[in-house]
């Protein structure tokens, strides 16, 4: 019954996306009454139920069949603020107390739980709660069981071979414990590491303090994504919100991470109120709060199972669910010249398919559609940019979904109207006009547009309209425009040719990869 329910949730969210809302809405993994809790880490049990750490009630819940029951920990009496008082007490599951259960993962024959407030790692097995490792006092000591010490441990990950990795957040360390509880330090010098995930022999680390994602493998630590920018204050780093290539992507103090079976990395981007995905060398936003989709607000953990993401948000006493992103289309053959660009631009939300299943590569792209694509591209640079303006056109009503993008583009001198107070939003876009829009957008953003290309090699080099010559030369020089090949093998600029959806995706991808660094 639960699998059927989750499938229906998945289909419903896909339908909303297909309707063109531009936002992926959250559904909830029905969790029953968890008494106003603040979900943090979560893990699946063997029976398909979900174990959820709750840092407000200081317990671990078991969510199954639309209801929630206490799995470990007792809810204490309310303190002066109303928050239940926790404790550090090992006992039978229903009589044990936690101070701040933060993460839970399957380990050995039970579940490891990081109790950040108690500076220990707990263990749940056979109906009891034990202290697995840690003295209960802050410290950095390696050793066995209670001889080891931590300072606010949070994220956990198991490699499936008897090793448990622990994000020792307060000490800026990654610790490793074997099944006997022996703790050693494996990574040092991090800034508030939190979320951890193990995949394909590597440990993925959310370095919350530096707003970046790292990977540790065979003793080597490397940055996967996220620009770390220091402030004038020692040991403080500023976050940001930028999608696009991993070399320029920005996060804002993320806390949670998961890696799918295909290697896609999912990040709970806490400061941005978003769920992000790292797919190859791209970072895209899977879900973010907006006026139309209020949640997530402060995501702290993310899980991936099959085609569904499970997200814990400290301000939502449920588990939010989202469909995992996908960019493939039934009408796009693998290896086609535009296939990769269509997939990547879809994942970034720049040039989307005509529907969820079809890209319609040969269809013309309209003036309004490409202006909308540029506005989405702008969001990659400035995640919270306001897309709107004061410009008005007689043939663009306030109710059109592209109206705000048209006003923005006109105000920013990216595009002009077609005369007599009209924008002609449905007119097919010519190739030269698409390139002019990209060129104007690059100038608006302050990018380097000094590149020049030799157009003399194209038989139709003298055919562009006068206003488009500089933009076409720039696009050729920057490697964005390579020309179109006719059946006889002749390479043409084809400036007055109709721009297709496939061409729009390819030009946009080249622009992001070559003009924007």
Q: What percent of the chain has pLDDT over 90?
A: 75
N-to-C CA span, the chain: 49
Question: Looking at the predicted structure, is the pLDDT value of residue 5 above 50?
Answer: no
Task: Look at residue 31 in the predicted model and tell me its pLDDT.
Answer: 53
- Express as a percent the part of the chain with pLDDT over 70: 92
Instruction: Give buried/exposed letters for 395-413 (b at 16+ CB in 10 A, else e).
Output: ebeeeeebbbbbbbbbebe
35-92 residue pLDDT tens = 778 999 999 999 999 999 999 999 999 998 778 899 999 999 999 999 999 999 999 9
Strand stretches in 153-281, DSSP E: 153-158, 163-168, 173-178, 182-187, 193-199, 202-207, 212-217, 220-225, 229-230, 237-238, 244-245, 256-259, 265-269, 274-279
pLDDT of residue 327: 59
The pLDDT of residue 24 is above 70: no
User: How far is the C-alpha of 122 from the C-alpha of 105, rounded, in Å?
Assistant: 11
Q: What was the pLDDT predicted at 33? A: 61
Kindly report the CA angle at 270 between 123 and 323, in degrees rounded to 5? 85
Say if strands 91-92 and 67-72 run parallel, antiparallel, or are unpaired. Answer: unpaired
Whether 8 shows a pLDDT value over 50: the answer reads no
Calculate mean pLDDT across residues 459-484. 93
List pLDDT tens digits, range 351-393: 989 988 999 999 999 999 999 999 999 988 777 789 999 999 9
Q: Determine the average pLDDT of the residues in 206-214.
A: 98
Beta strands 182-187 and 143-144, pairing class: antiparallel
pLDDT in tens, 165-177: 999 999 999 999 9
For residue 277, give the nearest of 269, 285, 355 by alpha carbon.
285
Residue 253 pLDDT class (50, 70, 90 cuts): very high
E strand segments, 289-442: 299-305, 308-313, 319-323
State the pLDDT at residue 13: 28
Mean pLDDT (whole number) for 260-272? 95
Residue 112 contacts residue 164 (beta carbons within 8 Å): yes
Can you give the C-alpha Rg of the chain in angstroms? 26
Return the DSSP state at 271: G
Q: What confidence tens digit (pLDDT) does each residue in 388-437 have? A: 999 999 999 999 999 999 999 999 999 999 999 999 999 999 999 999 99
At 173 the pLDDT is 98
The pLDDT score that the predictor gives to residue 380 is 81
Show Cβ contacts of residue 332 under 8 Å, excluding neighbours closer than 6 positions. 338, 339, 342, 343, 359, 361
Taking residues 139-158, report their average pLDDT: 98
| 245-276 as b/e: b if 16+ CB within 10 A | bbebbbbbbbbbbbbbeeebbbbbbbbbbbbb
| pLDDT, position 494 | 94
* Residues ≥6 apart with Cβ < 8 Å to 335: none
* Average pLDDT value for the chain: 90
Q: Are 165 and 158 in contact (CB under 8 A)?
A: yes
Question: Helix axis angle, 431-445 relative to 367-381, nearest 10°?
Answer: 30
Q: β-pairing, 308-313 with 265-269?
A: unpaired
The pLDDT, as a whole number, for residue 27 is 55
Q: Which of 243, 309, 267 is nearest to 10 (CA)?
A: 309
Q: Facing residues of 308 across strands?
A: 305, 323
pLDDT at 348: 86
Quote the pLDDT of residue 32.
56
* DSSP classification of residue 118: G
Cα separation, 170 vs 190, whole angstroms:
10
Encode pLDDT of 477-494 as tens digits.
Answer: 999 999 888 778 889 999
Burial of 458 (0-12, 13-18, 19+ CB in 10 A): buried
DSSP tag of 147: G
Residue range 298-320: mean pLDDT, rounded:
92
The H helix count followed by the E strand count for the chain is: 7, 31
Do 497 and 484 contact (CB within 8 A), yes or no? Answer: yes
Q: How many whole angstroms separate alpha carbon 468 and alpha carbon 349? A: 27
Contacts of residue 237, Cβ cutoff 8 Å, sequence gap at least 6: 191, 209, 210, 211, 228, 229, 230, 231
**Burial of residue 498 (number of CB atoms within 10 Å: 0-12, 13-18, 19+):** middle
Q: Which residues contact 465 (CB under 8 A, 6 or more apart)?
A: 432, 495, 496
pLDDT of the residue at 277: 94
As a whole number of angstroms, the distance between CA 364 and CA 433 comes to 13
Q: Rounded CA gap, 98 and 78, in Å?
A: 14
- Check pLDDT > 70 for residue 291: no
Instruction: State the Cα–Cα distance between residues 194 and 175, nearest whole angstrom.
Output: 12
Least confident range from 9-23, 215-229, 430-444: namely 9-23
pLDDT at site 515: 60
pLDDT over threshold 90, residue 292: no
Give just the sign of the alpha carbon dihedral 486, 491, 497, 501.
Answer: positive
């Amino acid at each position: 019954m639960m699998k059927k329910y989750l499938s229906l949730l998945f289909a419903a969210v896909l339908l909303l996306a297909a309707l063109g809302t531009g936002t992926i809405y959250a559904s909830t993994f029905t969790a029953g009454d968890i008494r106003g809790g603040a979900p943090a880490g979560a893990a699946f049990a063997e029976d398909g139920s979900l174990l959820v750490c709750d840092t407000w009630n200081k317990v671990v819940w078991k969510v199954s069949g639309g209801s929630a029951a206490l799995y470990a920990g007792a809810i204490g009496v309310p303190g002066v603020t109303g928050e239940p008082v926790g404790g550090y007490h090992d006992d039978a599951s229903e009589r044990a107390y936690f101070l701040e259960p933060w993460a839970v993962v399957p380990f050995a024959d039970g579940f490891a739980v990081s109790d950040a407030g108690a500076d220990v790692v707990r263990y749940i097995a056979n109906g009891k709660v034990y202290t697995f490792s840690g003295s209960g006092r802050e410290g950095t000591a390696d050793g066995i069981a209670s001889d080891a010490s931590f300072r606010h441990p949070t994220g956990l990950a198991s490699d499936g071979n008897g090793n448990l990795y622990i994000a020792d957040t307060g000490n800026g360390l990654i610790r490793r414990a074997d099944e006997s509880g022996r703790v050693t330090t494996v990574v040092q010098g991090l800034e508030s590491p939190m979320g951890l995930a193990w995949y394909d022999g590597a440990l993925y680390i959310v370095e919350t303090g530096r707003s970046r994602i790292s990977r540790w493998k065979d003793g080597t630590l490397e940055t996967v994504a996220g620009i770390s920018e220091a402030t004038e204050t020692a040991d403080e780093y500023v976050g940001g919100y930028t999608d696009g290539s991993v070399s320029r992507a920005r996060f804002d103090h993320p806390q949670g991470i998961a890696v799918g079976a295909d290697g896609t990395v999912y990040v709970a981007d806490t400061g941005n109120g978003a769920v992000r995905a790292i797919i190859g060398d791209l970072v895209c936003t899977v879900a973010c709060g907006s006026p139309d989709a209020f949640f997530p607000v402060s995501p702290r953990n993310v899980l991936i199972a099959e085609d569904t993401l499970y997200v814990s948000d400290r301000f939502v006493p449920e588990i939010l669910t989202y469909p995992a992103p996908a960019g493939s289309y039934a009408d796009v053959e693998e290896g086609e010249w535009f296939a990769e660009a269509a997939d990547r631009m879809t994942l970034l939300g720049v040039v989307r398919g005509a529907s969820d299943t079809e890209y319609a590569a040969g269809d013309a792209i309209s003036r309004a559609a490409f202006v909308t694509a540029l506005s989405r591209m702008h969001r990659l640079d400035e995640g919270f940019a306001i897309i709107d303006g004061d410009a008005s056109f007689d043939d663009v009503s306030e109710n059109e979904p592209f109206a705000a993008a048209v006003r923005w583009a006109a105000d920013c001198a990216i595009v002009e109207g077609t005369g007599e107070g009209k924008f002609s939003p449905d007119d097919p876009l010519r190739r030269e006009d698409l390139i002019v829009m990209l060129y104007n957008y690059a100038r608006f953003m302050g990018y380097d547009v000094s590149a020049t290309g030799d157009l003399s090699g194209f038989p139709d080099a003298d055919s562009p309209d006068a206003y488009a010559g500089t933009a076409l030369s720039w696009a050729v020089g920057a490697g964005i425009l390579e020309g179109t090949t006719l059946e006889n093998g002749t390479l043409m600029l084809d400036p007055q040719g109709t721009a297709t959806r496939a061409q729009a995706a390819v030009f946009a991808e080249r622009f992001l990869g070559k003009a924007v660094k």
